[in-house]
Amino acid sequence: MNDDKWLGRMPHKIVLSYLIISFVWIYFSNTLLHVFTSDVADFSRLDIYKDWVYVALTTLVLFILMKRYVSIIKDRENNFKTLADSGQALVWLSGTDKLCTYFNKSWFEFTGRSIDQEMGNGWAEGVHPDDFQLCLDIYNGSFDKREKFSMDYRLRRHDGEYRWLQDDGSPRYDSDGQFIGYIGYCLDITESKKLEVELAKSNEYMSAILDCLSDGVVACDKNGKLSLFNRSSRRFHGLLEQPLLPEQWAEYYDLYEKDGISRMKTENIPLYRALMGENVANQEMVIVPKDGKSLTLLATGRQLVNPHGEKLGAVVSLHDVTMIKALEEHIRQSQKLDSIGTLAGGVAHDFNNILTVVIGACTLLKMEDVDVNDQIKLINQIYESAERAAKLTKNLLAFSRRQTICQRCEELGEIIKVMQDFIGRIIGEDILLTTYLQEEPLNAMVDRGQIEQVLMNLAANARDAMPHGGILNISLSKVECDGTQKEMPGCVAGDYALISISDTGEGMDKNTQQRIFEPFFTTKVLGKGTGLGLSMVYGIIRQHDGVINVYSEVGEGTTFKIYMPLCDLSGKHSVAKIDKKLSGGTETILLVEDDPEVLEMNKGLLERAGYFVLSALDGHEAIELFKHCSDNIALVVLDVIMPGMNGREVYDKLKEQKDDVKVLFASGYTADILNRKGVVQDSLSFISKPLNPSVFMGRVRMLIDN
């Protein structure tokens, strides 16, 4: 049995011992007296001696027990004082009256005051005036509720300096569970407080620095909880200045891939990738605040770890390249316009030839002596010339279009074939254009418009290098990369398409080759070039994860080699082929077209195929017709761009009347305009003008049947 239990039972033991001794003594002493004597006088005298022995015996027992009791108490006090005095903590005790009854040696060494000065409430004189009331309120409140407490306050040291103490107090109870006061342990935390102040100042300083940066900075802890948004990142995201909970941040913005259309998946978000241990470098993304314009950002980030390699979180910097992208697009369009200026002569020449055929054929048709066979021949010539004009117009619009950059799996050989006519007109008749394309289709994830821009820029550069004529050769082939080729730095192992563009021009020296892709570097005379054409080519190829190299000798010409990673067509959407021989039908079709001549022509085609046609020259008229005949109308052929109400708006109104309405959109406008109108050009329910009658009728039949 330990001393605490023994000490708690001491009063009971004393009483019990007294009762046992008294009982035993009285019982046995009287019995013994009768045994030793029967004389009354002797019995009385022995009885007196018996009482004195009883007093002496009980006194001895009580003395031994009390001495043991006092010894244990003194040992406990000595042990407590020794323990309290041996530590650095300042220890105090208080009674049930809230007054302090004990302070250890460290306390007096700290304050330099006497025991008389500290006892009771004297210690409170050393508390800093600014902390006194708070200290008193915490102590009294905890004391009344018998609760533990922890408080920080400043106490005056013996040299007059106030030091910060952390005071942890706990209620004390005796062995019977009775409350007997409080015990407190105080630690000097002045240095920790100074560090906190310095850390706060440092954080404030770092926050001020981060808020001055034009780049955004976003950080999260190891659990992915967002912990930092500097001022620029808040501006990017459209967040409020006051603090927001992490779950509220997503209410203010959306993240998209660099095409600005596809929502970014969690595993592609730069901060998430960095948190997972990836080193993110210049990942392009689009952020769309709820109440602001979309921004294009370049994200760079990495995981945060401590010196022991333990994950702390992740940080990402965000660089706003919205203006740069707009400038790139502007320069790209300027480059195209510059090329189109050169192209205009060739286009005009082709159109004049086409018009010569059309006008001549029409003139001959008007003559009375033209027989039927000659009429058919002339009509075929007109039709073929119109097809040539339509193709030329379509390609010209495709080349000059202005639309959002979007990478898709494209066949590179097909792009080069389409661009041949344009390149031929760009370089002029004194330069021979030759091409060699591998028969095997080579597909790559590219933005078609950007690759066309690359070909045009390199062709224009070759033209300028051959002022007296020459040969320009474009070839396409497949190569394998093992990741070690010097001419393909940074390329991972795999299959690549190699586009080679060679000229027989003046060539370049080594110094020029080293600087050729630098922005604004040009060897042309003032006013003849911006120095941005080849730098744009380099930037476009790098954005496509490709590599471009230049090989040249002075007087021996120049060769540009472009390596593009190949992809398969498994993910590419296929468009169903249309059977040109599909017959017409007898259904009712609503035809909406704002051009009266086009309306009359398309109406005649549909009626000739057997359809019953309702026609409208604008959206409002179409809505009224549909309202009265919606049950009988099998298909609506709808022009996209019309005055007053465009095709998409008309379509939305028609869907309000009939949810499953079938619509075929038709337009001769470019993709960027159609996208702004909400019509997806790649959809099966879209057909480009000028309409090929066979394709048009086949598409109508297919939509009705589906």
Do strands 547-553 and 557-565 pair parallel, antiparallel, or not at all (unpaired)? antiparallel
Is residue 303 a contact partner of residue 274, using CB atoms and an 8 Å limit?
Answer: yes
Residue pLDDT, tens place only, 515-560: 777 665 565 544 444 445 677 777 778 778 888 888 888 888 899 9
pLDDT, average across residues 301-315:
88
Q: Alpha-carbon distance 311 to 129, whole Å?
A: 44
pLDDT, average across residues 270-295:
85
Q: What is the pTM of this model?
A: 0.39
Residue pLDDT, tens place only, 22-44: 667 666 666 666 666 666 566 56
Confidence at residue 348, expressed as pLDDT on a 0 to 100 scale:
61
pLDDT, average across residues 285-290:
82
pLDDT greater at residue 88 or residue 524:
88
Is residue 591 a contact partner of residue 602, using CB atoms and an 8 Å limit?
Answer: yes
644 has a pLDDT exceeding 70: yes
590 has a pLDDT exceeding 90: yes
Residue pLDDT, tens place only, 333-370: 666 555 555 555 556 656 666 676 677 667 767 766 66
Which residue, 249, 322, 248, 246, is CA-closest to 285?
322
408 has a pLDDT exceeding 50: yes
Confidence at residue 525, expressed as pLDDT on a 0 to 100 scale:
45
316 has a pLDDT exceeding 80: yes
Is residue 619 a contact partner of residue 649, using CB atoms and an 8 Å limit?
Answer: yes
Q: Please tell me the least confidently modeled range out of 24-38, 129-143, 217-231, 314-328.
A: 24-38
pLDDT greater at residue 175 or residue 310:
310
Query: What does pLDDT average to over the chain?
Result: 77
Residue pLDDT, tens place only, 498-511: 999 999 988 888 88
**CA distances from residue 560 to 442, 529, 547, 548 in whole angstroms, order as listed:** 19, 19, 10, 7
pLDDT, average across residues 112-126:
86
Confidence at residue 672, expressed as pLDDT on a 0 to 100 scale:
52
57 has a pLDDT exceeding 60: yes
Confidence at residue 240, expressed as pLDDT on a 0 to 100 scale:
64
Q: Mapping DSSP to helix (H, G, I), strand (E, B) and coil, where does residue 196 land?
A: helix
